Amino acid sequence: MLAPAEGLPKPLGLLAELTHRCPLGCPYCSNPLKLDPRADELDAATWARVFHEAAALGVLQVHLSGGEPAARRDLVEIVAAARQAGLYSNLITSAVGLTEKTLAALADAGLDHVQISIQDSEQASADRIAGYGGAYARKRALAAEVVRLKLPLTVNAVVHRANIGRIGDLVELALALGAGRVEIAHVQYYGWALANRAALMPARAQVERALAQVADLRARHHGRIVIDAVVPDYYAKYPKPCVGGWGRRSLNVTPAGRVLPCHAAETIPGLEFWSVREHALADIWASSPAFRAFRGTDWMQEPCASCPRRFEDFGGCRCQAFALTGDARATDPVCHLSPRHAIVEELAAVQEDAAYVYRRLAQTPTSS
Amino acid sequence: MTEPQTARPVAADARPRLPRGVRLAHSEAHGGFVLQAPERVFKADAVAAEILNRCTGEATVAAIVDELAAAYAAPRERILADVTKLLGSLADKRLLEL
């Protein structure tokens, strides 16, 4: 892996949220509750400029995400621009709304990798979680087409109470589909997932079984498929090194062009975000108030400020610290050293089989 | 990581190649070669870049070793050990086809 440079770090990854439009309604969607409308979306020419500026800044990989990126009619043009800028391009798709014809055109335009989300290994449950009938069948069909075109495929499986017992089946499904990589991603509670936390939260015993199972699956399938895991942090002892450290490894551009240190950063009040419409990306990375707010370790309070792990996990997640304690500078309460750690245990214990609040543009609570 | 670290055996007549989705590219911003793969980036030092640039699916491992031993006037056994170690570990991570 690339070592962090001295002084101002160089970002390696850019998450390009091309649109917030999406046919699916997954209740754990990481998009903000207040979604950017279509009329505000950046055009392809602006994305091309952003990709060139990103490459010059050090970015190597661009993750084309959303919403559903295939909702953009100019997606092929955008992928071609990423390749032209010298970036490694990763399409993060639900597969719904992405035709075989468009996929072939994307491959020709230089797309490097495709990631397809799968909601469950059982069709009825998968479609219920996605809030979209027929989604599961569509995903399987498009995955086959990705493999036929010899594009590398990752299956992304978000894990929560409704499917946590089927991790083995999800890995088998990824293998059967021809994926070289599968992500077993426990839900992270931001955006829509935070709104659905009690309905998604698994029990501690389920999580412990799941972790042991992933270790076993890794050993069993070593060399056949790469199994990456996103840990269930409400049950962790230490916090995750969120986005590899604030303003250190990656940046996120919203559909409307605001540049964020992470996709949930707008939930922290008082941060000033700059837009690619008004600023060059290098200026935003170096000087925008939002990126400077929590870069490095000077902002930390105890117990983080003197903790030997502060250069490993950077105090955890700022958005989670704010969401659970009301103070964005606090230690992520997931950490067992946090004086507020009891909150996390209390919240994890709240598990209710309530109906999902599906992520829909029309249901955006803040829209009129 | 809990994965076993047993690198895959590398046959002398294998013709290694980077699979689709794995690319070696020069990055001006990082001042060197980087090997790019799904969700992963590795810095390739000068030796690794010399080896990987030859992994086109045409040359055999033996031919690559011969060429590098001649180019660097180095003992063939040492080059063979370097090449085998690198290619085996990359194949293990699915970053190379043997």
DSSP letters for A113-125: EEEEE---SSHHH
Chain B residues within 8 A of A1 when measuring between CB atoms: 41-43
Q: Would the CB atoms of B34 and A2 count as touching at under 8 Å?
A: yes
- pLDDT of the residue at A170: 97
Count each helix (H run) and each strand (E run) in chain B, helices first: 3, 3
CA-based nearest residue to A180, from A111, A228, A126: A228
User: What is the residue type of A200?
Assistant: L
Q: Contact, B90 vs B96, CB < 8 A?
A: yes
Q: Contact, A47 vs A74, CB < 8 A?
A: no
Pick the residue of B28, B39, B89, B96 with the most A CBs within 10 A to test the interface with A by mutation: B39
* Gap from B23 CA to chain A (nearest CA, Å): 8
Give the CA dihedral A143, A147, A150, A153, nearest 10 degrees: 60
Host H or E run for residue A159: strand A153-159
Q: Contact, A154 vs A115, CB < 8 A?
A: yes
Interface check for B94 against chain A (CB to CB < 8 A): the answer is yes
Q: Contact, B40 vs A226, CB < 8 A?
A: no
| Phi and psi, residue A226, nearest 5° | -85, 125
ipTM: 0.83
Q: Would the CB atoms of A2 and B43 count as touching at under 8 Å?
A: yes
Chain B residues within 8 A of A88 when measuring between CB atoms: 23, 25, 36, 41
Q: Which of B3, B38, B92 sits opposite A152 (nearest CB)?
A: B38
CA dist A323 → A37, A64, A231, A326, A334 (Å): 25, 27, 19, 6, 12
Chain A residues whose C-beta sits inside 8 Å of any chain B C-beta: 1-3, 10, 12, 55-61, 86, 88, 90, 112-113, 115, 150-152, 154, 180-181, 215, 218-219, 222-223, 225-226, 228
**Residue A244 per-residue DSSP state:** G
* Gap from B49 CA to chain A (nearest CA, Å): 15
Q: How confident is the model at residue B5 (pLDDT cuts 50, 70, 90)?
A: low
> If DSSP codes are grouped into helix, strand and coil, which group holds residue A282?
helix
Q: Contact, A208 vs A165, CB < 8 A?
A: no
Angular region, B42: left φ>0, alpha ψ -120 to 50, beta rest: beta
Whole-angstrom distance, CA of residue A166 vs CA of residue A125: 11
- Prior bond of A303 cis (ω within 30°): yes
Q: Would the CB atoms of A180 and B38 count as touching at under 8 Å?
A: yes
* pLDDT tens, N- to C-terminus, chain A (368 residues): 455 445 899 999 999 999 999 999 999 999 999 899 999 999 999 999 999 999 999 999 999 999 999 999 999 999 999 999 999 999 999 999 999 999 999 999 999 999 999 999 999 999 999 999 999 999 999 999 999 999 999 999 999 999 999 999 999 999 999 999 999 999 999 989 999 999 999 999 999 999 999 999 999 998 889 999 888 889 999 999 988 999 999 999 999 999 999 999 999 999 999 999 999 999 999 999 999 999 999 999 999 999 999 999 999 999 999 999 999 999 999 999 999 999 999 999 999 998 999 998 764 444 33
> If DSSP codes are grouped into helix, strand and coil, which group holds residue B97?
strand
* Pairs of CB atoms within 8 A across A/B: 77
Q: Would the CB atoms of B23 and A112 count as touching at under 8 Å?
A: yes
Q: Would the CB atoms of A2 and B39 count as touching at under 8 Å?
A: no
Chain B residues within 8 A of A112 when measuring between CB atoms: 21, 23, 36, 38
Q: Would the CB atoms of B43 and A1 count as touching at under 8 Å?
A: yes
CA-based nearest residue to A22, from A331, A266, A358: A358
